[in-house]
Amino acid sequence: MSAQDINCLQNSFQKAINMSGSPGIVSTSPTQSFMNTLPRRLSTSKQSKALKPFSTGDIKILLLENVNTAAIQIFKEQGYQVDFYKSSLPEEDLIEKIKDVHAIGIRSKTKLTANVLQHARNLVVIGCFCIGTNQVDLDYAANMGVAVFNSPFSNSRSVAELVIAEIISLARQLGDRSIELHTGTWNKVSARCWEIRGKTLGIIGYGHIGSQLSVLAEAMGMHVIYYDIVTIMALGTAKQVSTLDELLNKSDFVSLHVPETSETKNMLSFPQFAAMKDGAYVINASRGTVVDIPALVQAMQAGKIAGAALDVYPNEPGKNGANTYNDDLNSWTSQLVSLPNVILTPHIGGSTEEAQSAIGIEVAHSLSKYINEGNSVGSVNFPEVSLRSLDFDQENTVRVLYIHRNVPGVLKTVNNILSSHNIEKQFSDSNGDIAYLIADISQVNQSDIKNIYDELNQTSAKISIRLLY
């Protein structure tokens, strides 16, 4: 690179830095500014134009709970500032940290309540690096104009494999035999130890994990039935049953794969355990509230249930460490741990290197695309809106991201504001009370950008505005 090129690059970077300001008013990125100085080459295929929010170095990302390094690398490649912690934070520390960040990445332990989110002045997007999103107040976030993304598929195989391992371990009482041998006791027995071939597995919730488990179980020679609130096409020779009671009556093993909702709370309790086969087994790797654990304890003490494997609990420790799983956390813990043939794992269903890497990549890309392009496809609390990328040769074009209340007359008001420019493409959608509009407008100069922002900011339905170019 010549001295002239280096000087040009430095000037472009300095110009971009000087132009950065409010998250609402944005500038081109340093990379884009430099590329604009290069001579254009003719090409048969059009290049996509990278959209960036103000100077990328101004974007602050807070990552908690040891989010996978793949995500960190993706964010750093974007030029974002990344603040990384291996554990969750106490609420008062979280409130302080979240005040200035534009994005936050969490797993299952961090609780983003309304009390926490109300302090997030610049927050644009939340990434849940896991399947569940019940740890986030989704409605409050949406009303702030904050989109929430998760990874609903990436750890499905890891959870399904763990459940298969637990089915075999329960059938053979491996947990008890291992503990005995660790303490010097040789106890070679076959009583009440079974092959899983030919047994019936009942799957409650036939989504991504449940269906993966179905395939693996059939490969092991099991018969599979499943219950779901919607009709779902079976994989292999699995069969859907019409009621939960039918599944419980017929199953030797019952595995739960449902979200945490008011309908699924204590989904298995005293009546359901009574409906199960004598000597059946229970596996829960979904959410801690779906099994009534005191009822499970009583069913096992009575000999109704022969074994259980639990990976999730109503209350879980905020960090790793000795003596954190005790009766102070859940009052029944000492009773549960005293039972034979009970496998307890610390919420590790999706904790494999492969799953965490895939989750890190998926969620990090979703957050980056939302920050850089406004693409909300895959958001769990937001209208799913996207526009195709701008072509590289489209100069003086601005992308308007307008999040607003879903009330009549808004589009007319917005289009009147944008009417002095050419609206090249536009798309909007709504989700309940929240609506989201993206529009690409051309023939825009620097002075126009502030005017557009100010006029949109004065609209009564406005929740949040960003301008990208």
Catalytic residue annotation: 287, 316, 347
Q: List C-alpha distances in Å: 286 to 132, 140, 151, 155, 422.
A: 9, 24, 15, 12, 50
At 134 the three-state DSSP class reads coil
For residue 161, give both structure tokens: 């494999």
**CA-CA distance, 249 to 312, in Å (whole number)?**
24
8 Å CB contact between 60 and 83: yes
For residue 387, give both structure tokens: 């526009």
Q: Select from 287, 280, 313, 318 the least CA-distant residue to 90.
A: 318
**CA-CA distance, 177 to 185, in Å (whole number)?**
9
φ, ψ of residue 440 in degrees (nearest 5): -100, 120
For residue 364, give both structure tokens: 């990090």
**CA-CA distance, 381 to 452, in Å (whole number)?**
27
Q: Residues 6 or more apart from 464 whose CB is under 8 A from it?
A: 124, 144, 145, 146, 401, 403
8 Å CB contact between 315 and 272: no
